[in-house]
A and B are shown apart, each in its own frame.
Chain A
């Protein structure tokens, strides 16, 4: 097809729309840039930390290349030891060797002192043969397992953080193995996080559904008031909301005092409701409830009351009419709210940290611990990456079975 002057129609159409497209892009550009700089790049960077492994590769370059030829059987030959000594000397001088020591210690406890003491000794070594000298300095250098560890961790990228995040590790022979049952931390924590998020989501549905129904069906004057009460928590600081629960639920708190006063429980039998799982569940349900109510409300607002009336006129009692006719039409709202609440709670941090105690901790508290306390950013990155993968998998499952286009946010 061509236009009147003979140009192809598609070309003319593109040209005619170009101005609009440029405008549209310019309008979006600031947000795009903002998201890119403050969100996509950091997330990508953090995820990369979960697999990158520069310490051995960069600080011990000679050992790394010398080990390339070693087949992993028996002890490596003299040149490898010479390269080790040279790297240790250089690393000691530049004060970088500590990073290698820390990195290898993650994989095998005790490697920090092996590396640090060897480095101190290597500083004084003038000439070879280095093999016996090093084995004399630390018997670990006479163990092929040590060398296999160094060879493995001299690769620029590693799965060991991800394995650690899944409670697995490379054993001495370099095979992947699960940690013994009593030393597993992260998998149980992931499971607890998922279970608690699911419970919070369920509570939010149970508590939010009736509220959303009222919001959508009451006269405007009353429903506006109700809406303000739903939104009120949004306008209060998260910290205030969480600490309020401490005041209410702690063992010397309002609720326990009330129950003692009413003789429901006696003074010795005060119930521990905070600084454990219960506390986290209660506080998170409260805080995330609006995220369930609002999508539900917006869906319910579009369901005309005549459907319920039709069902009743056809002979369904109120319960059947509600369950068979009303609820199915709000499924998209339940789905949207659940997805929102579940994904938000899976990465929730402040509330579990404040009211969770020991048993109410979630995986994000562990990530924060590795970011701030243990400074094992690689493991933190790997845990974050796993969390991201779990969320994406859930999202795609949701998309497959309910359809993301069914989501209505308001």
Chain B
């Protein structure tokens, strides 16, 4: 009680090891504000689920403090933490009806029968399953089970709700629908949510902020647009959205920008200096496909080079072109399907270019 609302949940120097030899979570620090939707995003084995389990109380932190609402919860048992949780496979109790599932957290809190009935009814209506109370979970579709799981995690009005890849088992359309639904529930209730997923589009859609995990370390913690447009290292640039990489050597630094000699050719390009060692060090240039321009004007785009078209894929609103640029044969550009664009041909050599601020020099 009485914690700072900007620090509703805090991880302070949290480390976790299962075998005493390797750290699964290396040094995790984050402050989550009350009412925030924070996503932990990362490939499997990156430590994101472990962090969630430590917050829920199913794993003990090897080192560091986890603080909830101003109090350390390291030694609080899971059932006393008052944290709602949605599991990967929903974990709806198969021997209880939907209504009994929802009533379970209220019953163990010894609420009165009438209050339980009222809350269960309201929770079912919130997820649009008003008439399904007497069914068993097995009689529901995947999406409906998902909604019940969400309703069950919210019905006892916890201040914090954790979700562990809750949409992983759903098909694509349903997943997108549920993303919006969960987002709207979050907005309506103002509850703090911590969400774990390996699906970057899911993370971008729903989150206020995203923590990108890799190898037990948070690579970047930022809002979705910052992550996409201003990735701080090569992993984040590659993990979030589509990305072209060019390797090179740092030649010189001029304020915020720098000059990089490309490895595959002898061209020199200018890029934003984001995350590089000193002059002479290797660097990875990151350019988003949609920021690459065909046949650029020389004065507008200082960075120009030649590219050979390797493959063209027609996608309706744009054409995806795979090109070889400076030895990298996986350089993707998106050519908008506008009325006056010049059709590309396979094998053709074209000029491409990009703005200096769209090219970020990152760690090698």
Chain A positions near chain B (C-beta within 8 angstroms): 304, 306-307, 309-318, 320-321, 324-325, 328-329, 331
Contact = CB atoms under 8 A, between A and B. Distances in A.
A317 B108 CA distance: 8
A312 B91 contact: no
17 contacts: A306-B88, A306-B89, A306-B91, A309-B58, A309-B87, A312-B78, A313-B81, A313-B153, A314-B152, A314-B153, A315-B79, A315-B80, A315-B82, A315-B156, A317-B79, A328-B93, A329-B94
A318 to B, nearest CB: 8
A316 B78 CA distance: 9
B257 to A, nearest CB: 50
Q: Which 7 A-B pairs have the closest CB atoms?
A: A310-B91, A314-B105, A313-B85, A306-B91, A312-B78, A328-B95, A316-B108
Given A306-B87, A306-B88, A320-B108, A313 B78 contact: yes
B99 to A, nearest CB: 14
With most chain B CB atoms within 10 A of its CB, the pick from A309, A328, A331 is: A309
Contacts of A325: 93
B83 interface: yes
Interface of B: 56-58, 77-85, 87-89, 91, 93-95, 104-105, 108-109, 152-153, 156, 162
B93 A315 contact: no
A321 B88 CA distance: 19
A316 B104 contact: yes
Contacts of A307: 91, 93
A311 B95 CA distance: 13
B104 A314 contact: yes
Contacts, number: 69
A329 to B, nearest CB: 6
A357 to B, nearest CB: 44
A384 to B, nearest CB: 39
A313 B95 contact: no
B322 to A, nearest CB: 42
A314 B83 CA distance: 7
Contacts of A306: 87-89, 91
A106 B339 CA distance: 111
A315 B91 contact: no
A110 B81 CA distance: 82
A309 B53 CA distance: 10
A113 B78 CA distance: 82
Contacts of A329: 93-95
A408 to B, nearest CB: 14
Nearest to B82: A315
A311 B83 CA distance: 12
B230 to A, nearest CB: 36
A332 to B, nearest CB: 10
Contacts of A316: 79, 104-105, 108
Contacts of B77: 312, 317-318
Nearest to B94: A329
Nearest to B53: A309
Contacts of B87: 306, 309-310
Nearest to A324: B104
Contacts of B105: 314-316
Given A321-B79, A325-B93, A329-B94, A311 B104 contact: yes
Contacts of B56: 309, 313
A329 B57 CA distance: 24
B89 A304 contact: yes
Nearest to B56: A313
A105 to B, nearest CB: 59
A315 B57 CA distance: 12
Contacts of A309: 56, 58, 78, 85, 87, 91
A248 B88 CA distance: 51
B88 A313 contact: no
A46 to B, nearest CB: 42
Nearest to A329: B95
Contacts of B57: 312-313
